[in-house]
């Protein structure tokens, strides 16, 4: 592309900062390990996530929210793997929403979009990241999602089935979840001030009465939560590298 046209294209693109949630306790992994620092085919889980954000054309800078005891190690990880877009590694908060808000407050002043990415989704692709950013630039809030395969039931506290949900209307939401910067900051601030637990950033934005649009996600964009997920991720990564 002619340099002038490339600069013109970039000038029209809204500036986007990626906020990486990496301050979780990894309690379901067992053994007191930080799942984000575990090797996935020789490369730490978090490094793989960051590499995809580094390669995404729509991401201008990266802020990582991490546990205080991991700040130095994650900063070193960024240097080792050439994550030059990572401008800050900040201490996370008492909850995921708090961590994301702390990271959001550190972005460059001219940032228009915020892309929240789970540090534990190492198979996210740069293409999917750019696709969601593009959608959010047009509608204000977007996230990737995949169809639910299993039958899902609502249950009572004692385990009794209350009702069966209509599977065709259900989606499993992934990250990155991308929003207008001021909207996400306001949504997270409101949820924290009102002490309302939110399971993802879409939930926080939805509480303000704003519409979030879902686009097609990637079934391989799994979240590492348990040791079984590591086994699955290894297999998916191997299949990707073999072109299957």
Residues 113-164 pLDDT 10s:
999 999 999 999 999 999 999 999 999 999 999 999 999 999 999 999 999 9
Give the tens place of pLDDT for each residue, 11-22: 578 999 999 999
178 token code pair: 């991308």
Residue 21 has what pLDDT?
97
**Class in CATH terms, 3-143+171-241:** alpha beta
Q: What is the pLDDT of residue 24?
A: 85
Closest to 98 (Cα-Cα) out of 72, 116, 73, 78:
116
CA pair distance 12, 187, nearest whole angstrom: 26
Mean pLDDT of the chain: 93
- Residue 3 pLDDT: 58
Cα–Cα dist 115/112, whole Å: 10
């Amino acid at each position: 592309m002619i340099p002038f046209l490339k600069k013109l294209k970039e000038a029209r693109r809204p500036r986007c900062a990626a906020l990486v949630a990496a301050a979780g306790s990894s309690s379901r992994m067992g053994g007191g390990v930080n799942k984000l620092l575990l090797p996935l085919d020789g490369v730490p889980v978090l490094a793989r996530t960051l590499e995809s954000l580094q390669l995404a054309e729509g991401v201008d800078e990266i802020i990582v929210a991490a546990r205080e005891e991991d700040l130095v190690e994650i900063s070193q990880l960024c240097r080792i793997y050439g994550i030059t877009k990572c401008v800050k590694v900040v201490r996370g908060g008492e909850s995921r929403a708090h961590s994301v808000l702390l990271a959001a407050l550190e972005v460059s002043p001219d940032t228009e979009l915020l892309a929240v990415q789970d540090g534990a989704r190492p198979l996210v692709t740069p293409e999917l990241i750019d696709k969601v950013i593009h959608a959010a630039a047009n509608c204000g809030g977007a996230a990737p999602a995949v169809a639910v395969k299993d039958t899902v039931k609502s249950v009572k506290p004692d385990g009794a089935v209350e009702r069966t949900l209509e599977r065709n209307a259900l989606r499993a939401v992934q990250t990155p979840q991308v929003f207008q910067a001021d909207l996400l900051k306001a949504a997270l601030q409101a949820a924290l001030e009102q002490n309302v637990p939110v399971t993802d950033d879409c939930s926080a934005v939805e509480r303000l009465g704003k519409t979030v649009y879902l686009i097609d996600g990637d079934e391989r964009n799994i979240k590492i939560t348990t040791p079984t997920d590591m086994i699955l991720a290894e297999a998916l990564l191997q299949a990707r590298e073999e072109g299957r």
